[in-house]
Amino acid sequence: MKPAAQRLSRIRCARALTPEGWCEHCVIQVDASGRITAVVKDDSLSVDLSLTGTVIPGLPNLHSHAHQRAIAGLTEHKLAGYDDFWGWRELMYRANARLGPDELQAVARYLYSQMLQSGYTAVAEFHYLHHDPAGNRYADPAELSARLLEAASEAGIAITLLPVLYCRGGFNGQAVQGVQQRFFCLPEHYLELVQACALHCADDPNRAFGFAAHSLRAVAPEVLTRTLQDAGDLASGVPVHIHVAEQRKEVLECQALNGRTPIAWLHEACPVDENWCLVHATHADPNELRAIVKSDATVGLCPTTEANLGDGIFPTEQFMIDGGHFGIGSDSQICTAPTEELKLLEYTQRLTLQRRTVLVKDDEGSVGRSLVEFALAGGSRAMGKATCGLVAGARADFLELDNSQVDLAALSPDQVLDSWIFAGQGIAVHNVIVGGRHVVVDGVHSLLEVAARPFQQVVATLNEA
Ligand SMILES: [Zn+2]
């Protein structure tokens, strides 16, 4: 199931967002490996494609659990009694127990096609479903990792695969239970898994790998540090992700058992640096915000999931003022559109602070553009990408917004971004290019329709009983 994605070498843009600002009538030149070689203003060049809308760099999705797409929308039924993140987790665990390799690939293939059609061009897959439903290793321990990579290649999205270390069932070191057996990895088996993933990613410019620990609940910090040391060169310069402070309950439990909160403990005991992505730093206090900025790590925010699960609100404005890096992720896949994540990210700050236009990094300017630039820069760091955006050396990942509607004709490029994120206004993602390949054409991903049926079958199975 391969998309017929054409490789483009020259694309003319009516207007494109570059690191220097909006550039009109430029040509993006792409080499055979899918990297940008130059962005030039030259009206005489022949091109493969002309984009008349507003072109912006593709947005990285820095935190995804593909398998959770299968239950998005199936956990909104209230049962009597108290409901919170932990109740949702039980439902998610129940669904996990029924997903095998074919089902996972079917869900991921559909999901990644949807992400592309919404404007994400790369995904960091935080992958902890390692073993079969009984908790036994597959003949190939990297079976499910390989299926995710294959699904990404089928859809045409770039992927950073992050196999997840999961060693224990809680802060006090209890054993994993039930479905958690599917996640469990001894550090030595985990390193074999990462090694296998690295081989699967070699020589493919759309694939990368990194390390991840599920959380300090699931991995003691000294075990995480030792595992990274034991990895040697394999861990050099690659991303390291962790769920860090999503739920107040886990923060309090960690404080009670270890005398410090997870973010503080992580910074004390692990080599946190610019390669790290702290996902859901939701309950960071001011000192912890400063510690994260000092370590130069990126914070991964997933506003629609954090809202859906009742997690809390990250103090993004203060983190921005402190100079922090952050990006967005779709996490539980309750939403697969970057616009919704960015809008909710800004709105949660407005609701908390009772002010408008909060997340603008230079104190004045377009909120939409600022949000896009934060998501691009922070997301790229989290993906392990040294160069990003429409610039020589970066992978040619970009999208065109269709702003041809009559009522949008008078908008400036910044206003198009503001309207795309905050007002909809019928602005659609019209064309998407990943690594120079044209994967969404005139608003349609060619694989989405074919991928829908197997996806529906998986959901129907999960929804039985
Ligand atoms: Zn997550």
**The CA-based dihedral angle spanning residues 451, 454, 455, 457, taken in that order and rounded to the nearest 10 degrees:** 160
Among the listed residues 82, 42, 62, 47, the one whose alpha carbon sits nearest the alpha carbon of residue 302: 62
Q: Hey, what domains does the chain have and what are their CATH numbers?
A: 6-57+389-443 (2.30.40.10), 59-383 (3.20.20.140)
Mean pLDDT of 211-237: 97
pLDDT(465) > 80: no
Q: Ligand 1 mean position to 215 CA, how many Å? A: 10
pLDDT(28) > 90: yes
pLDDT(4) > 60: no
Coil, strand or helix at 344: helix
Each residue's pLDDT tens digit, 126-169: 999 999 999 999 999 999 999 999 999 999 999 999 999 999 99
Q: Cβ(185)–Cβ(166) under 8 Å?
A: yes
pLDDT(67) > 90: yes
Q: Ligand 1 mean position to 52 CA, how many Å? A: 37
Q: Cβ(61)–Cβ(158) under 8 Å?
A: no
Locate 158 and state its tokens.
């770039």
Locate 462 and state its tokens.
């999960």
User: Which residue would you say has higher pLDDT here, 463 or 27?
Assistant: 27
Say if pTM beats, i.e. exceeds, 0.85.
yes
Q: Ligand 1 mean position to 65 CA, how many Å? A: 6
Strands 437-441 and 444-445 turn out to be antiparallel
What per-residue confidence (pLDDT) applies to 3? 47
Quote the CA–CA distance of 285 and 434 in Å, as a whole number: 38
Q: Ligand 1 mean position to 306 CA, how many Å? A: 10
Residues that are catalytic: 280, 331
pLDDT(421) > 90: yes
Percent above pLDDT 70 for the chain: 99
